[in-house]
Structure 1
């Protein structure tokens, strides 16, 4: 092949995390030549610094907690976790931060991998700077897909860089448990890492600027998780805004706006995410560097006919499973447009394409928080549904009313809520909090995404005696309200 032919592809994908991999998988399956550019590890944030390592750390914690609630077993699991074994298991699940397996997978689907930093250098053009400084230009016939995800966002505290704070990456890849850990934040990363490191032996202090934990879920979710963290020995402070952080002789000192002073060996800031678009060459195509990329429901960047932004970078739903869902749709849309066929979805110019659009991003996004107890939700909270103008009613049920919950664990504690649209009699949202509820959420996702009428849900009979019987209790509570 000539140099020009070597660098010409149907599709160029920036970022080889789960989202980029799925875009490439779909475009290659459609017969489109595809290049993938990655500056770090193939497999991305989820594989090495987020989903996989965090859940590997948390699974032993949750399993021990469950065992402690089972008669005949509880007395056998009162000792501490084997921290070294847990960390070794975490390392195994991240393949020791080696991406050979994922590289082989890319090769297996026929995608070409370019190692280095990719930047847009004009329409349908990407310049890749390799680790050795060499440059190569890739040109896309049909589409460039930006799948670069997000990075941790640190607050603008003076001297914070000198403190060498943890972000989610350090929290999931640390080689030892710090004796003392301060966690700043109250959302998912904060509560999951507080759960994990407390169980692995760290003294943990959580400083939350707001009034409670998990502010994007129903209020009772944060309340139940906060209660459990406190019972586990976490020092939880709400209404505590960190004003200064220093490191003195290896000790981190954090001072809040109330003048309270906290010391630790490490400090984790779990205070939000920012798009990895600041050095992506967006300015070369009329977009703002560092911005979130706004897209239509086929994941095409608004105002363009060739640029796609898929996954966290478009700010629709910052979750790996939603990003992979978007990637499947984007890949199908790119392939359909490349072949001249109607692409799935409805585009910015209003043409009808069919049913396959990222509609779940709007009304049926599921999420599980892997704390003890777990918190799981899909769709809209009561407050969100009301703000959206729906006439709704929330129905709550305590899991203590469910026979299967009592069999799952002695003293099972948790709550379920469904948010019912009173005009259409469908579910707008469902939230579960309790041990093991992460495995319940897909049933709720099907009900919300499928807009299943309550009259049909009565005929979806839950098996007895399982925790799923909470569905019957929820329907009965709505009927009797």
Structure 2
């Protein structure tokens, strides 16, 4: 048996941040990973997807400015080469070196709980290594894509986020199942990089259903203008692919078929807790791991087990997993030293306030906090203010085709923001100001004195406050 102060299972962004922070406090730390150190975000999600979307976004930007013209179609081969560089050609040597420099021991293999403070690792050669923690085990195994139980779908070997972000040749025709973030982003990327036919099958009646309704509507209009066929209230009833890698036929629930070269499933994700050995410590064997505000797993005696990132189901976002990792790591270090573990930074507030998120379509969708519907459902005294962002001088200067909308959800009793949504090209950089306002619960009267520079799109803050009546 190998004994360490802290064991981290999963070397994605959350796991790496937690391990590095714990090791920096002086605790001996080991991290277990069965794929690439750096995890989903680095190789198959956030980073490669944004590398694919950036030229599409920039092409849209150029097209909105008078006097500029895009010189022909996007060079897909060059974009894919740049994507390969962004993901380090799927080589995690750099991440492994960083872990070593941070004082973290990397063990390659599949980790599984085998009782209190004990992790059994199955290595690639079939061997077994047992790790024991003096203080804590942190689970950071992330999430996996959901494949709906559609006849023939799994057998057709559909693409998930991994295959589409790692695409070697852009398909001529692609069917996308889903209407969420991955579906919208990758439908736009494939179309922009040269796919002739992109068809989206959306079970519900809107895109991006967890955002304000106008966000999905604006993205749907943009995707349609780019030639993407969006079919609302439509779903796949059966999928047929007679030859591996050959043509795919999707039979629709409403009747008719769609034929394509590839099919992308973007129908959500689930916590990667299967075969994690949770039953050995008295927890349900599947589903998200319930945690308290310090990221400790609920129902585990002595509080030695923690769950951070997607695996706890709070917010399936890389930045939130890293935030939770910082919270948990500081709690673990304090408890190991016998110090108080209740300082303000050791409790999760951000998930309760509402995690910030950006959808990197064109236009971008940026939101933090509660939507209007969520705020009303929770019983707040809500007032809503909206503003068309093209009326801001900074927005007008970005091009004749610039369109955007901002919405603020206000708690009338306290006069603070419960949620903010921006939908506009390049709006992502506006989000952190909104995140600060929502998380800190700054009053509208205080925000009135935060003067935005002219002429920038951030003047939308002033316009929202004026629309409220300040």
1:25 matches 2:16: no
Match of 2:279 among 280, 283, 288: 283
Find the aligned partners of 2:335 and 2:44 in 1 and give their Cα distance: 35
| SS of aligned partner of 2:407 | strand
Give the paired residue count.
Answer: 465
| SS of aligned partner of 2:189 | helix
Match of 1:245 among 239, 242, 256: 239
User: Where in structure 1 are there 5+ consecutive unaligned residues?
Assistant: 345-352
Find the aligned partners of 1:260 and 1:378 in 2 and give their Cα distance: 40
1:121 matches 2:119: no
Match of 2:295 among 299, 309, 327: 299
| SS of aligned partner of 2:397 | helix
1:70 CA displacement: 1.1
Q: Which residue of 1 aligns with 2:364?
A: 374
| SS of aligned partner of 2:373 | helix
Find the aligned partners of 2:467 and 2:22 in 1 and give their Cα distance: 47
1:78 CA displacement: 4.9
Match of 2:398 among 397, 400, 408: 408
Find the aligned partners of 2:401 and 2:48 in 1 and give their Cα distance: 30
- Normalised to the residue count of structure 1, the TM-score between the two structures is 0.95
- What is the CA RMSD across the aligned residues, in angstroms? 1.0
- Normalised to the residue count of structure 2, the TM-score between the two structures is 0.98
Distance 1:358 1:412, change over 3 A: same
Find the aligned partners of 1:110 and 1:445 in 2 and give their Cα distance: 33
1:392 matches 2:382: yes
1:174 CA displacement: 1.0
1:453 matches 2:451: no
| SS of aligned partner of 1:104 | helix
1:260 CA displacement: 2.6
Q: Which residue of 2 aligns with 1:200?
A: 193
1:158 CA displacement: 2.5
Q: Deviation digits for residues 39-86 of structure 1, max 9, x if unmatched?
A: 00000000000000000000111011101111221x2x0511000000
Find the aligned partners of 1:154 and 1:161 in 2 and give their Cα distance: 7
Match of 1:331 among 325, 329, 332: 329
Q: Which residue of 2 aligns with 1:350?
A: none
| SS of aligned partner of 2:346 | coil
Do the aligned partners of 2:327 and 2:345 also contact (CA within 8 Å) in 1?
no
Find the aligned partners of 1:14 and 1:397 in 2 and give their Cα distance: 45
Q: Deviation digits for residues 97-116 of structure 1, max 9, x if unmatched?
A: 00000000000011111000
Q: Which residue of 1 aligns with 2:145?
A: 152
Q: Which residue of 1 aligns with 2:256?
A: 260
Find the aligned partners of 1:124 and 1:319 in 2 and give their Cα distance: 27
1:222 matches 2:216: yes
Do the aligned partners of 2:328 and 2:346 also contact (CA within 8 Å) in 1?
no
Match of 2:270 among 274, 286, 292: 274
Q: Which residue of 2 aligns with 1:347?
A: none
Do the aligned partners of 1:295 and 1:308 also contact (CA within 8 Å) in 2?
yes
